[in-house]
Amino acid sequence: MKNLLEVCCGNLDSVRAAVEGGAPRVELCRALELDGLTPDWEDLREARRLFPQLTIHVLIRPRAGDFCYTPREVEAMSGDIEAALDCGADGIVIGCLTPSGDVDVPAMRVLMEAADGRPVTFHRAFDLCREPFSALEDIIGLGCRRILTSGQAPTVAEGTELIRELRHRAGGRIGLLPGCGVTPENARRILQLTACDEIHASASAAGPDGRKVTSARSVSAIIQAINSTVMYTFTPVKDQAGKFVLSLDNRVSIVEAITAFCLEKGILAGEITGLGAVNLATFRFLDPVTLKYVDKTFEEQMEITNLTGNISQKDGKPYLHLHITASRSDYSCIGGHLLDARINGACELFVTSFPGTFVGRRPDPETGVNLYSF
């Protein structure tokens, strides 16, 4: 599944640029110099007419300043949500706080009712909440789909640790949408550090009049960056030909990344050792009586205390045989044949190739496994 970019658009021209750059979703507003206000309905209607396949989320914010609203303002915002939906909005972006810095749950309930089941994003008012984890639970309880946040930092690049912790505590009950200061240069790293699969950016550049406007080129560059197929970095071991130190990127498949590295280096025989952390791993067990494989997937944070394996070839391509020992949060361990796992943190490996050595694989009907073939 591809990572998704949501572009913050302050007018119809910005929507056009976002679509030209390939964005699948926009947040439509106006007055970005005031951190965004409720957009003009004519812009929304025209955007809906021009781009029927585009997902359009609409910011509902009646004024600049704080996010503490009076009952009259909440009533007006409720009417604006209904108007936005009538004009073709797919989702709503809102956020209400109390003067003490908590989520204003009663006000939010009024607005959630007006949203009538459409996806709701709680915007960066979250970054002003005095207790982020309590606010997280309030927002989940309200039924919001996601939270737009910089991790309560001046830029999202500085707030990745909190976002990652929020995502962990949410446990899939709500999405986290990192935003604020996202560029083509840092977007992919932000997703790696937060373990999120969506990101929010204005993707802007200075226009002819000096004002910042959405740039189709920047949109395209961010989308390309967050969906890059690069899965690792490496360095050769000095004075030891065929030996490499390999670091896998966060959130990648261990098997896919190692296989890609072996293909790049032409490694068809070798060995692997390493350690790391994963939050999804599938083990395979061969029943020696039935000769049938039994797979079991563990979706939890685990530390790899030992990853070992070998590289051979099958049908002219790298074939990995991996075994793993992993520690769980209660300090118990599980281990066995690793079918695949997803990195959640880091994974550091040593890879040694055996150039010129043929090590193939052949199926063995007696044991039900693929044995070495020389």
* pLDDT tens per residue across span 177-187: 999 999 988 89
Task: Please tell me whether the overall predicted TM-score, pTM, comes out greater than 0.85 for this model.
Answer: no
pLDDT tens sequence across 193-218: 888 999 999 999 877 777 778 999 99
Among 68, 81, 199, 196, smallest CA distance to 125 is for 68
pLDDT tens sequence across 108-121: 999 999 999 999 99
For 155, the token pair is 């830029």
Secondary structure (3-state) at 234: strand
3-state secondary structure labels for all residues of 50-99: HCCCCEEEEECCCCCCCCCCCHHHHHHHHHHHHHHHHCCCCEEEECCECC
CA angle 115, 63, 79 (to 5 degrees): 30
Mean pLDDT calculated for residue range 319-343:
94
With contact defined as beta carbons under 8 Å apart, do 159 and 131 qualify? no
Does the pLDDT of residue 169 top 90, yes or no? Answer: yes
Question: What is the predicted pLDDT for the residue at 68?
Answer: 98
Among 330, 249, 322, 312, smallest CA distance to 283 is for 322
Mean pLDDT calculated for residue range 311-329:
93
- Of all residues in the chain, the percent with pLDDT exceeding 70 is 99
Secondary structure (3-state) at 303: strand
Mean pLDDT calculated for residue range 50-72:
97
Beta bridge partners of 362: 371
Q: In what helix (H) or strand (E) does residue 261 lie, and over which residues does it extend? A: helix 254-265
Does the pLDDT of residue 1 top 70, yes or no? Answer: no
Pick the range with the lowest mean pLDDT from 65-69, 138-142, 191-195.
191-195
Does the pLDDT of residue 256 top 90, yes or no? Answer: no
Q: How far apart are CA 302 and CA 359, in angstroms?
A: 32
For residues 74 and 342, the model is more confident at 74
For 314, the token pair is 């099958």
Task: Please compute Rg for the chain using Cα positions.
Answer: 25
With cut-offs at 50, 70 and 90, classify the pLDDT of residue 291. confident
Angle of helix 71-86 relative to helix 105-115, nearest 10 degrees?
Answer: 20
With contact defined as beta carbons under 8 Å apart, do 122 and 95 qualify? yes
Residue whose token pair is 């500085």: 158
Beta bridge partners of 323: 308, 337
Pick the range with the lowest mean pLDDT from 35-39, 150-154, 194-198, 302-306.
194-198
Question: What is the predicted pLDDT for the residue at 229?
Answer: 65
Mean of all residue pLDDT scores within the chain: 93
Question: What is the predicted pLDDT for the residue at 17?
Answer: 97
Question: What is the predicted pLDDT for the residue at 368?
Answer: 75
Mean pLDDT calculated for residue range 83-105:
98
For 196, the token pair is 């999120």
User: What are the φ/ψ torsions at residue 343 (nearest 5 degrees)?
Assistant: -65, 135
What are the chain's domains? 4-226 (3.20.20.380), 232-373 (3.30.1330.80)
Mean pLDDT calculated for residue range 337-364:
92
Q: How far apart are CA 205 and CA 202, in angstroms?
A: 9
With contact defined as beta carbons under 8 Å apart, do 235 and 214 qualify? no
Among 125, 75, 62, 77, smallest CA distance to 99 is for 125
